[in-house]
Homo-oligomer: A and B are copies of this chain.
């Protein structure tokens, strides 16, 4: 089986990571690569780590260029995916790595993005209850945000088993590739090295409604989220520290059991042995998720912590995993749980 894939937005970090993974995928043939301001340039100067594609020239992002592929990945600024997808027709598998089709609630979209809601596509986080069924055979996939991936996987088992009160406090640290290749002063190397700083504090981050959506669906009731993202001095990785009050009568054993049950058969999620805590370095460049959970009896809180690579499981790896499901391939085809460390 050979699947021909195009990537719109191949010069950015998400597009580059996707190509890194697609190059290792046994069933993918890489077709058109497009860019915006970089159209006409060779990929070798833009993504020098992708040696096999060094000679490829970026084309403009048009329906003509993207036509004729089995799969089209969209790594575009939000708001642009709907128009492109429409032109590609219903038979092409379109995987949107942007935000456009993640939210179910148009009011949420309006509040956080301020434009018209494009719709909702099957949500590409297969580990969530019910998600696989919607992805299998689908022609449309909305790839989750990187923070919602880390946070939803850390917390959903506690909500699935009714162990946590519906009010989560989340502080997450992300490597700076999460902000993309945008040329902003605060993303310069001299600014980020040696620096930890928060942003989007107080519910302002656009990934907040996505977390609420995922956790509420599992809990069967609205779960509120206090989310504080921070920028960490590293290229990649998210460490999400999540906690919530435990419901009355919760025991450490019940908490452990909920997570063991949720992740017993998941190919990419590893619930660590008790006493070992997640580390972003351990999942560097891999599609793996490390999770640990503890019950703090004194504070009466369940504390769940996850580590992912924001570009792999958090973006491009998650996209490939869901693509595999949509294409009927084994879910882990072309993906690895082995990190590049140290």
Residue from A173, A189, A292 whose CB has the most chain B CB atoms within 10 Å: A189
Taking a contact as CB atoms under 8 Å apart, the answer to whether A20 and B193 are in contact is: no
Central interface residue in A194, A196, A282, by most chain B CB within 10 Å: A196
Residue A299 lies at the interface, judged by CB distance under 8 Å to chain B: yes
Asked if A237 is at the interface (CB within 8 A of a chain B CB), the reply is yes
Point out the residues of chain B lying under 8 angstroms from A20, CB to CB: 338, 340
Pick the contact of A307: B197, B278, B288 (CB < 8 A). Answer: B197
A195 touches B279 (CB 8 A): yes
A152 contacts B by Cβ under 8 Å: no
Complex partner residue of A50 from B169, B198, B338, CB under 8 angstroms:
B338
A side interface size, CB within 8 A = 88
A260 sits at the interface (CB 8 A): no
Q: Is the CB of B175 within 8 A of A234?
A: no
Query: Would you call A188 and B176 a contact (CB within 8 A)?
Result: yes
Interface 1/0s, chain A 160-183, versus B by CB < 8 A? 000000010101010111000101
- In the complex, the answer to whether A279 meets B176 with C-beta atoms within 8 Å is no
A79 at the interface (CB under 8 A from B): no
A51 touches B232 (CB 8 A): no
Q: Which chain B residues border A54 with CB–CB below 8 Å? A: 270
Q: Which of A267-310 contact B (CB under 8 A)?
A: 270, 272-273, 276-286, 288, 290, 292, 294-296, 298-299, 301, 303, 305, 307
Q: Is there contact, CB below 8 Å, between B307 and A196?
A: yes
Report chain B residues within 8 Å CB of A303. 201-202, 226, 228
Chain B residues positioned under 8 Å from A301 (CB to CB): 169, 226
- Of A41-49, A127-135, A136-144, A319-327, the stretch lying at the interface with chain B is A41-49
In the complex, A230 has a CB within 8 A of chain B? yes
Partner of A299 from the list B189, B224, B233, B338 (CB cut-off 8 Å) is B224
The answer on a CB contact under 8 Å between B280 and A194 is yes
Q: Given that A167-B299, A183-B183, A307-B196 are known contacts, is A236 also in contact with B273, CB under 8 Å in the complex? A: no
> What residue of chain B has the Cβ atom nearest to residue A245's Cβ?
B167
Encode contact with B along A20-53: 1 for CB under 8 Å, 0 otherwise. Answer: 1001100000000000000000001101111110
Q: Complex formed: what's the CA distance from A193 to B197 in Å?
A: 17
From the candidates B167, B184, B276, B342, name the one contacting A235 in the complex (CB within 8 A). Answer: B342
Quick check: is A243 within 8 A (CB to CB) of the other chain? yes
The CA-CA distance from A262 to B187 in the complex, in Å, is: 33
A235-263 residues at the B interface, CB under 8 angstroms: 235-237, 239, 241, 243
Q: Sample 24 A-B pairs with CB under 8 A, ordered by A number.
A: A13-B190, A13-B342, A49-B286, A51-B337, A51-B339, A52-B338, A173-B232, A176-B193, A181-B185, A183-B183, A187-B189, A189-B233, A194-B235, A195-B280, A196-B232, A196-B280, A198-B278, A198-B305, A201-B294, A203-B296, A226-B296, A226-B301, A236-B342, A284-B340
In addition to A13-B190, A203-B299, 5 A-B residue pairs with Cβ atoms within 8 Å of each other are: A45-B273, A52-B338, A173-B232, A201-B303, A226-B299
